[in-house]
Structure 1
Amino acid sequence: MEIDESLSEKAYRILNEKIVTCQLSPGNRLAQSYLSQQMGIGLTPIRDALQRLALEGFVEVIPRHGYIVTKIDVAYVAEIFEMRQILEQASVGLATEKGVDEDLETIRKMADFQYKFKKHDTYLDFLQRNANFHLAIAEATGNFRLVNTLSRLLVEMTRVFHLGLDLRDSADEMRNEHIMLTDALLSRDTNQAVNLVKHQIDTSKSRIIEALNNNSRMWKKAQGRERLRSEIFLRRED
């Protein structure tokens, strides 16, 4: 039983990273037998991993076709960023009113982080620290339903955040934005905190839509190549 759980976790981590970094392009079909052969992992752990990824919004179940990587389009980006605006504006507003000074000081120390442009091995660490930073603000509100909802959204958004990092070097800009936000929290300036987070989210959305437009043609070509490899493998299996 422990071996199966370990393999399921391994399959999840491998697939999650490939999807987040768009090595598996949006819209790609995920044939379970092909993934099993490529990863050297049995079908049951692969199936468990895909079910978990579906719950997180990274893959979709298509009746009679199996799983595909969830597509990213302008409508998808607009929807998740609309939700993020609602949650994060509420989060920083409540944190300025209800946050304990000690917690806000800790959040201020968490703000000093950044990635290295085009150094892809730094991106996932940056995104994890970014999620931790925003969740710490939500936790300062004392509203753990807000924390849980924002946590699920940030997990789903990891892929689009990763996409935006490669567009241009915004590392210093993002770091400074986080520091300015924590300064507003510590000074209990609700309007400033809400305006800052609104601006940050709008800027991030624009960056990601630009990156999406730049990558959409490349993804279509990648989908075609991956579909061909999968079909060749499945024909051999038959």
Structure 2
Amino acid sequence: MGALEIQGYLKSLPRKGYLVKPVTKKSMRESFQMRAIFEKAAVSLAIKTASDSELEDILDLAMKFPEASQNSKVSEFNELNNIFHMSIVRAAHNSLLIDMCEGIMENLSRILMIDCKQLEFLDEKKEHIKIAQALLERDIKKSEELINEHIAQFQARVYANEREMV
């Protein structure tokens, strides 16, 4: 339970148990803001430090996303999405950035699992492939623009599908 408290998911209530901290609009907004900041930095660093092989592996992951016409469960999408985005972060070769991004991605996965059960994943495959190709081209400006646009679009879809929240 201590790790969940440290990560901010639980609050200890002495002699009463634990309280699961609710997902709020503020926590969603802040998580998306931090994700955009960290991933913009990650694509820039990855372009400068990653090997061609690492960037090709990221493109291979992008190709695994389902087509827009295929039904995808949030949990399956989350897993592939986390692997893809964390592969970009790992390609930056910065352990502090990796640790921070893992926390943000875990928090966003929690938000999606709780509040976006009907979320549709339109054009996700195309978006991920474009990001991966820009990385392979080692185009920092294009990569940063694509990752920012991708996160903003995803955030907009989450907000459009959110249920009433605390």
Which of 172, 186, 194 aligns to 2:144? It is: 194
How many angstroms apart in 2 are the aligned matches of 1:174 and 1:126? 10
- Is the 1:113–1:126 Cα contact (8 Å) retained in structure 2? no
Instruction: Report the secondary structure of 1:111's partner residue.
Output: helix
Which residue number in structure 2 is paired with residue 96 of structure 1? 47
Matches within 5 A, 1:56-205: 56-62=7-13, 65-114=16-65, 117=71, 122-162=73-113, 163-164=115-116, 166-167=118-119, 169-170=120-121, 172-205=122-155
List gaps (5 residues or longer) in structure 1: 1-49, 221-238
Distance 1:97 1:211, change over 3 A: same
Counterpart amino acid of residue 50 in structure 2:
G
> Identity rate of aligned residues, in percent?
27
TM-score, with length taken from structure 1: 0.61
- In 2, the alpha carbon distance for the partners of 1:144 and 1:68 equals 31
- The 4+ residue runs of structure 1 with deviation greater than 4 A are 62-65
Give the residue type in structure 2 aligned to 1:166: Q
Q: Which amino acid aligns with 1:204?
A: F
State how far apart, in whole Å, the 2-side matches of 1:188 and 1:84 are.
21
CA distance in 2, matches of 1:113, 1:68: 38
Could you tell me which residue of structure 2 aligns to residue 32 of structure 1? none
Question: What is the CA–CA distance in structure 1 between the aligned matches of 2:117 and 2:56, rounded to whole Å?
Answer: 27
The C-alpha deviation readout for 1:104-138, integer Å capped at 9, x for no partner, is 01111011233654x6xx43232122111111111
1:210 deviates by 2.4
Q: TM-score, normalised by structure 2?
A: 0.85
Distance 2:148 2:107 in 1: 19
Aligned pair in 2 of structure 1 residues 159, 151: CA closer, same or farther (>3 Å)?
same
The 1:65–1:204 alpha-carbon spacing in structure 2 relative to 1, beyond 3 Å, is farther
| Aligned length in residues | 162
Amino acid at match of 2:5: A
Question: Structure 2 regions of 5+ residues with no counterpart?
Answer: none
Contact conserved, 2:74 with 2:112, CA < 8 A, in 1? no
Larger % of helix: which? 1
Tell me the secondary structure at the aligned position of residue 143 of structure 2: helix
CA distance in 2 between partners of 1:68 and 1:112 (Å):
40
Q: CA 1:207–1:57 in structure 2 vs 1: closer, same or farther (change >3 Å)?
A: farther
**Aligned residue identity for 1:177:** E
| 1:34-79 Cα deviation digits (max 9, x unpaired) | xxxxxxxxxxxxxxxx433333333333456532222122211111
Query: What is the rounded CA distance, in whole Å, between the counterparts of 1:55 and 1:101 in structure 2?
Result: 37
Higher relative contact order (CA 8 A, sep 6+): 2
Take 1:113 and 1:165, find their aligned partners in 2: how far apart are those partners?
Answer: 21
